[in-house]
């Protein structure tokens, strides 16, 4: 029995070595393409209906768009944070581990723009994490300070759609969260 097990095990293909650089390149491409799709639609909603229209777009259409891009790429794409707006963005245990690492780096004075992307093996999958930063003043119309950045109409929509919202109070350049992208190894 032991000989048969050893023979079967020795005939199994060796696991493919993990190429971190290739995984980071793949993850960066997927995150970039997803951001472009979301950003273009968000900017169009902002231009036609203002910040509250952009919030409406995000609450209704952003998740289905990300899900369709996930299916098209054969991956799982998610945005998560330590300060979530939507419950479906809550981090899982592995995402929380990476968020904790990033928050520790920030606490030691590392600039948000200097936080590196990361690719790691999680069992039979690869997980890619890329920081999301508040990149432009437009982001503050929904994620900035109440009253000074977020108008009253948008604030009312946030309270209605996201009663547990914690995704405000940011400034340009702040760490907002992570892209979390996973695929089979």
Q: In sequence order, what DSSP letters do the residues of 31-50 get, joined into one string?
A: HHHHHHHHHHHHHHHHHHHH
The pLDDT value recorded for residue 10 is 52
pLDDT at residue 165, rounded to an integer: 96
Residue-level pLDDT at 82: 97
Q: Residue 57's pLDDT is what?
A: 86
What kind and span of H or E run contains 68? helix 63-73
Q: What is the mean pLDDT of residues 77-86?
A: 97
pLDDT at 13: 61
Question: Angle at the Cα of 122 (from 120 to 124), degrees rounded to 5?
Answer: 120
Residue 16 pLDDT > 90, yes or no? no
Residue-wise pLDDT for 154-176, tens only, equals 999 999 999 999 999 999 999 99
Q: What is the pLDDT of residues 104-162, one digit of tens each?
A: 999 999 999 999 999 999 999 999 999 999 999 999 999 999 989 999 999 999 999 99
């Amino acid at each position: 029995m032991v000989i048969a097990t050893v023979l079967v095990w020795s005939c199994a293909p060796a696991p493919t070595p993990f190429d971190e650089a290739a995984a980071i390149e793949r993850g960066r491409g997927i995150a970039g393409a997803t951001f472009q799709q979301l950003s273009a639609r968000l900017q169009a909603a902002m231009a036609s209906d203002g910040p509250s229209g952009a919030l409406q777009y995000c609450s209704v259409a952003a998740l289905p768009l990300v899900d369709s891009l996930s299916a098209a790429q054969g991956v799982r794409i998610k945005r998560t944070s330590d300060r979530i707006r939507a419950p479906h963005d809550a981090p899982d245990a592995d995402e929380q581990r990476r968020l904790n690492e990033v928050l520790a780096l920030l606490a030691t004075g590392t600039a948000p723009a200097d936080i590196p992307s990361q690719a790691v093996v999680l069992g039979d999958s690869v997980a890619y994490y890329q920081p999301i930063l508040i990149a432009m003043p437009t982001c503050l119309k929904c994620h900035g300070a109440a009253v000074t950045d977020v108008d009253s109409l948008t604030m009312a929509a946030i309270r209605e759609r996201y009663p547990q919202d914690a995704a405000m109070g940011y400034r340009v350049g702040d760490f907002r969260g992570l892209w979390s992208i996973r695929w089979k190894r």
